[in-house]
């Protein structure tokens, strides 16, 4: 119940294409779903996050789609650019889960390569 399953493990997309990464969770107590972007040699950085009271959130070229009934959420990167090449992690957490502020359970990551 504590797992967050992420797919695909790796993804190659042409410049200008759409990158789609999917995640699934089981614990219905989760109420916070962030996506982190990690470049080699750097720590993960928050990209975008969603709470289950909305089905979609968009920030620039990045969109999270959330399906509460299916317990799935996905990251869409529109007009993918070579600078988007990085590893992307989905995560899930909840206020009060695992602590007063809630720790995050991370997926295993997706390595995205955007070809020029």
Partner 1 sequence: EAGVAQSPRYKIIEKRQSVAFWCNPISGHATLYWYQQILGQGPKLLIQFQNNGVVDDSQLPKDRFSAERLKGVDSTLKIQPAKLEDSAVYLCASSLGLAGKNIQYFGAGTRLSVL
Dist. CA 104–CA 98, nearest whole Å: 9
- Which chain residues interact with partner 1 by CB under 8 A? 4, 6, 32, 34, 36, 41-46, 49, 89, 91, 93, 95, 98-104, 106-109
Closest CB 79 distance from partner 1, rounded Å: 26
**Region class of 47: left (phi > 0), else alpha (psi between -120 and 50), else beta:** alpha
| Closer by beta carbon to partner 1, 18 or else 45 | 45
Closest CB 58 distance from partner 1, rounded Å: 18
**Peptide bond between residue 8 and the one before it cis (omega within 30 degrees of 0):** yes
| Closer by beta carbon to partner 1, 12 or else 46 | 46
């Amino acid at each position: 119940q504590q797992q967050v399953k992420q797919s695909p493990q790796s993804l190659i997309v042409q410049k200008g294409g759409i990158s789609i990464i999917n995640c699934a969770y089981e614990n219905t107590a989760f109420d916070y779903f962030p996506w982190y972007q990690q470049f080699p040699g750097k720590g993960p950085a928050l990209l975008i996050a969603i709470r289950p009271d909305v089905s979609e959130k968009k920030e620039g070229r990045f969109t999270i789609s959330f399906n509460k009934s299916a317990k799935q959420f996905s990251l869409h990167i529109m007009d993918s650019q070579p600078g988007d090449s990085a590893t992307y992690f989905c995560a899930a957490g909840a206020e009060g889960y695992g602590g007063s502020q809630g720790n995050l359970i991370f997926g295993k990551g997706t390595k995205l390569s955007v070809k020029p």
